[in-house]
Amino acid sequence: MPFFWEKGARKLSKMSSDRALRKQQQLNNLVYVVTNQAKPGDRIVDFCSGGGHVGIVLAHMLPSCQVTLIENKELSLIRAKKRSDELGLSNIWFIQANMEYFTGMFNIGVALHACGVATDMVIEHCIKTRASFVTCPCCYGFIQNTSKFNFPKSEQFKKTLSYKEHMILCRFADQTAVQLPPQRRLIGKQCMCLVDLDRARAAEECGYSVQVISMEPESCSPKNNMIVGVPI
């Protein structure tokens, strides 16, 4: 997979070299998928953008697209804006807000390691706008029913799993840390895939073509699933 981080790599200089490499690999995977989907003039939204690592790389790689970073933490956006200014990017915008308050139209939504139901919020936002989505979920153990979401999400999984059984899957899906025994990590990965398959099936029921794929190399993150959806 192509290596996209050049100037942006310098922004991780304060990280350990191993962590910086893993972050670069994660970004390579997300950026590779998005750049293959994006068309000139597309509007791309980086949800839960943090310090802007994803959005800034996308703005650099896709100068004909408009990239908007949405983040509720002011300091994170200040850092992202500084990084963007240093690179001289002119196709990038910054919004400090919770994602549910964002009402703009866009073509592609992305999120790297949006925690718990934040991934489901991103997917829902994209479906409402009929936008494509590229998400990498995280913190499966924090998934639970909310005023907006009930789990399992898809009709297929609702016929098979109770809410309690789905929550057990979510708890085991967080058991993927590298320090755990291999067999336990394998079970965690399988549970992680089932949770994300439920998300994929729910999006398919809304008229999307969806794939659940793994980042490469898998060592780039214990949470290495990507859910990629395109409206049919």
Q: What is the pLDDT of residues 163-201, one digit of tens each?
A: 999 999 999 999 999 899 999 999 999 999 999 999 999
pLDDT > 90? residue 5: no
pLDDT > 80? residue 16: no
Q: What is the pLDDT of residues 211-229, one digit of tens each?
A: 999 999 988 999 999 999 9
The Cα–Cα gap between 228 and 151 comes to: 20
Q: What is the pLDDT confidence band of residue 14, given thresholds at 50, 70 and 90?
A: low
The Cα–Cα gap between 163 and 181 comes to: 28
pLDDT at residue 8, rounded to an integer: 47
Whole-model pTM?
Answer: 0.91
> Per the structure block, which two tokens stand in for 51?
């310090």
- Cα torsion at 70, 59, 200, 154 (round to 10°)? 20
Among the listed residues 99, 89, 62, the one whose alpha carbon sits nearest the alpha carbon of residue 81: 89
> Per the structure block, which two tokens stand in for 21?
């490499």
Q: What is the pLDDT of residues 34-57, one digit of tens each?
A: 999 999 999 999 999 999 999 999
All residues at 6 or more sequence positions from 54 whose CB lies less than 8 Å from its CB, including other chains: 27, 30, 31, 46, 110, 112
Domains of the chain in sequence order: 17-231 (3.40.50.150)
Q: What percent of the chain has pLDDT over 70?
A: 94
